[in-house]
Structures are given as C-alpha cells and as structure tokens.
Amino acid sequence: MDLRLRSEPPARVADLACGTGWSSIAMAQAYPLISVDGFDLDADAIAAARRHAGRPAWRTVSRSPPLTRPAPVCPASTTW
C-alpha cells in the first residue's frame, strides 16, 4: 500500500468517520501525491477538522443532513 500511495497516478483515499480530521491530515502529509476525503456525520467534528487543517487551500465543507446526502468531507487534501 505504501508504494501505491507514493506513486502515480495519485491515489484518492476515503477516511471514513474522520472525526476531528487528524488521521486525514496525517495521511495527506505523509503521502503528498494523494487526495484524502474524510467523512463524518458529526457537525462538531467537522468544525474541529476545519480548524485543525488551518490551511486555506484545503477543502472546506458544510454538514449535510443525515441520510439525505453523503456525509460531509473533512478538509484534508494535498492540493495546497
């Protein structure tokens, strides 16, 4: 898996139940080529993930209502 995450074409990783975003951020920092999409249903966790990311170029999202749309995405991407 390490080799795949370090090679082209860039991988896209889903971090399910990303919580406050630390795991998404760590993956994005460890593997600069990848794009990480973190998902969580907790609005407070998403807000914390936004604060933890602290990078304006990282994606920001809003919380979607449960069961009507996909879960919101934590802001962790290597596209800064």
pLDDT digits (tens, 9 = 90+) for 17-29: 999 999 999 998 9
The neighbour count for residue 45, using CB atoms within 10 Å, is: 19
Which residues of the chain are modeled with pLDDT < 70? Answer: 55-80
* Residues 23/49, Cβ–Cβ less than 8 Å: no
d(CA 36, CA 78): 8
The predicted pLDDT at position 8 comes to 95
User: Model pTM greater than 0.95?
Assistant: no
**Which superfamily, per CATH, for 2-74?**
Vaccinia Virus protein VP39 (3.40.50.150)
- Cα–Cα distances in angstroms (integers) from residue 24 to residues 67, 68, 69, in the given order: 23, 24, 21
The predicted pLDDT at position 53 comes to 80
The predicted pLDDT at position 22 comes to 92
